[in-house]
Amino acid sequence: MAVDHGYGNMKTANTVTPTGIKAYETEPIFTGNILEYNGIYYRIGEGHKEFIPDKAMDEEYYLLTLMAIARELNVFSIREADVHLAAGLPLTWIRNQREAFRSYLLQNPEVHYRFNGKEYHLHFAGCSLYPQGYPAIVNHLGNFKGTNLLADIGNGTMNILYINNKKAQESRCWTEKLGVNQCMIAAKNAVLDKFGVKIEESTVEQILRFGTADISAPYLDCISSIARQYVAELFSTLCKYEYNPGTTLERCGRNRKDKRQPTGKRICCRTPR
């Protein structure tokens, strides 16, 4: 089972869930996305997780993993399973974090818990870890002639990898803390500085998704301006790593089945020979 531990969303093959979590000692009043584990209730999707370079240092990502597995198993009405996890880490961090993250995800060989009132019983059989972004294109490497640049832009980081004649160049990969959340923070701060009000994150997210929201024009213009600046910064960073917009064809590798989420988009830029 593939689980994408995003800073903005937890993803599986068939599910997307915001990466927020809040603990309750007693059962929450409202239902929906409730994980019960070791006598504690957790509402998933509430709040927003801060950026953490090493996810193995954060207990909540383990809980979010259990939630993601439950949601994926529920698609097929499965309540008990032997699970081999497949997960990803940022390109330049995977060498140092691989074994610690594997041990973190496999910390309990057997787990019992409830999600949305349903019992789940898991036996963890193993865990494979991969560099983020690369799995999105590995099945298409036959089409990657000459020099290619992969940019995986997530909520927390942007991962950059060069591929030369269908082979990934390990010496030419970088991770930048330039995810979409940086744009979110800048937009909220800009509205606070200019208008003296705090704007809801959901409103900013709607503008990033659809280009508009039910707010007055000055607020919309302010947030849109920040979004344009963020995009310019993305391309400026790509150019720092020798991306040439004048000679590069862009191919969007976003999962087209999920049009709701603004994060986790992958752009593969191919430079023709």
Q: pLDDT class for 49, splitting at 50, 70, 90?
A: confident
pLDDT in tens, 210-254: 999 999 999 999 999 999 999 999 999 999 999 987 666 566 555
Threshold 0.85, pTM exceeds: no
- Least Cα distance to 154 among 249, 35, 16 occurs for 16
Cβ density class 168-197: b for 16+ within 10 Å, e for less:
beeeebbbbebbbbbbbebbbebbeeeeee
| 118 contacts: CB under 8 Å, gap ≥ 6 | 70, 74, 79
Please say if the pLDDT value at position 272 is more than 80: no
Question: Phi/psi at 190 (nearest 5 deg)?
Answer: -65, -40
Structural contact between residues 146 and 272, judged by C-beta atoms closer than 8 angstroms: yes
Amino acid symbol at 105: L
pLDDT at position 79 is 98
Structural contact between residues 154 and 55, judged by C-beta atoms closer than 8 angstroms: no
Cβ density class 43-63: b for 16+ within 10 Å, e for less:
bbbeeebeeeeebbeeebbbb
Average pLDDT of the chain is 88
pLDDT in tens, 145-166: 888 899 999 998 999 999 988 8
Q: Is 144 helix (H, G, I), strand (E, B) or coil?
A: coil
Domains for the chain: give ranges and CATH numbers.
Answer: 4-131 (3.30.420.40), 142-273 (3.30.420.40)
SS3 content of the chain, % helix, strand, coil (to 5): 35, 30, 35
Q: Which long-range contacts (CB under 8 A, 24 or more apart) does 37-40 make?
A: 37/63, 37/66, 37/113, 37/114
> Taking phi first (over 0 means left), then psi (-120 to 50 degrees means alpha), and beta for anything else, what does residue 168 get?
beta
> Can you tell me the distance from the alpha carbon of 232 to that of 245, in angstroms, rounded to the nearest whole number?
12
pLDDT in tens, 62-118: 999 999 999 999 999 999 999 999 999 988 888 899 999 999 999 999 999 999 999
